[in-house]
Amino acid sequence: MSAAAGSTGAAAHRDAGPAGAALQGRHALVTGASRGIGFEVARALLAQGARVTLLGRNPQALQQAAAALAGHGEVHTASGDVAQRPAVDAAFASAVQRFGAVDILVNNAGQAVSQRFDRLTEEQWQQMLAVNLTGTFHCMQAALPGMLQRQWGRIVNVASTAGLVGYAYVSAYCAAKHAVVGLTRSVALEAAGKGVTVNAVCPGYTETDIVREAVANISGKTGMSPEQARAKLAERNPQGRLVQPAEVASAVQWLCLPQAGAINGQSIPVDGGEVMVG
């Protein structure tokens, strides 16, 4: 379903978008787009003239997000679990039917489970790999062939500083995000020279549902107040604060612009200086 009126079909939309916008006529698909970083990424790409498909598991949440973006540009919603290949294929088919081929893919869908390693269950381990890594793999495989054929594309994987360093009690999440960084680098090399770039952004602790769940978990296990738990997480950032979703979205937006064509295979921390990558 679409949140914007207009004729259907790819051909009718190829020249849509604000005049002079850098991504005018481009179709972006954003996963995990109903809230948080994904929602802000959608807003940022719409501001550059892209038509945006919001992909997520909750149809009602997607429709609410689309309604909130009404007036910002053309928006389509497609529901499905990125961990399931048939659901991804169906979502991409819906997106292509509405707005044409996918030019920009932002893999933002993710989950985090906090557990001491020796108590981590295989089910939790597999869940972290399925959502954070396999979901990224599915969507990249769905989008990349068309990008290579058209000789233009942008893939941005929302990883985490947990993909660059280790964190205690989130070993499965760290393993999955490290794998996303490795996948990003490998596919970037395969796509280099073909007009397609593949990059990752690595947010530190960001004001999202994952951090709110972490705050609740810390409070429940340590007796800290929610305010104290938030402050504890914010201490990791040299700026002494949580990153905001719009700040992550700004980095994603930049990587999607034509002017960022020389940036490829990079994993860019958005963390106030927490992680220094040499």
How sure is the predictor about 277, in pLDDT bands with cuts at 50, 70 and 90?
A: low
Question: Bridge-partner residues for 54, per DSSP?
Answer: 30, 77
What lies within 8 Å, CB to CB, of 25 at 6+ separation is: 13, 14, 15, 16, 17, 49
**For the chain, how many helices (H) and strands (E)?**
9, 7
Longest dimension (CA), the chain: 58
Can you read off the two tokens belonging to residue 142?
Answer: 């769905």
pLDDT beyond 70 at 7: no
169-192 average pLDDT score: 97
Half-sphere exposure of 235 (CA within 13 A, CB side): 7
245-256 average pLDDT score: 97
pLDDT beyond 80 at 24: yes
Closest CA to 264 of 157, 192, 210: 192
CB 156 within 8 A of CB 256: yes
Residues 179, 91: Cα–Cα separation, whole Å: 24
Residues 64, 69: Cα–Cα separation, whole Å: 9
pLDDT beyond 80 at 11: no
pLDDT beyond 70 at 12: no
How sure is the predictor about 16, in pLDDT bands with cuts at 50, 70 and 90?
A: very low
Catalytic residues: 173
Looking at the domain that runs over 11-204+243-264, which CATH code has it been given?
A: 3.40.50.720
20-49 average pLDDT score: 95
Average pLDDT of the chain is 90
Q: Which of 9-23, 121-135, 182-196, 241-255 has the lowest mean pLDDT?
A: 9-23
pLDDT beyond 90 at 194: yes
Return the higher-pLDDT residue of 200 and 214.
200
Question: Bridge-partner residues for 79, per DSSP?
Answer: 56
Percent of the chain clearing pLDDT 90 (strictly above): 78
Which pLDDT tens digit goes with each residue over 45-69? 999 999 999 999 999 999 999 999 9
Can you read off the two tokens belonging to residue 249?
Answer: 């979205």
Domain borders along the chain are: 11-204+243-264, 206-242
How sure is the predictor about 20, in pLDDT bands with cuts at 50, 70 and 90?
A: low
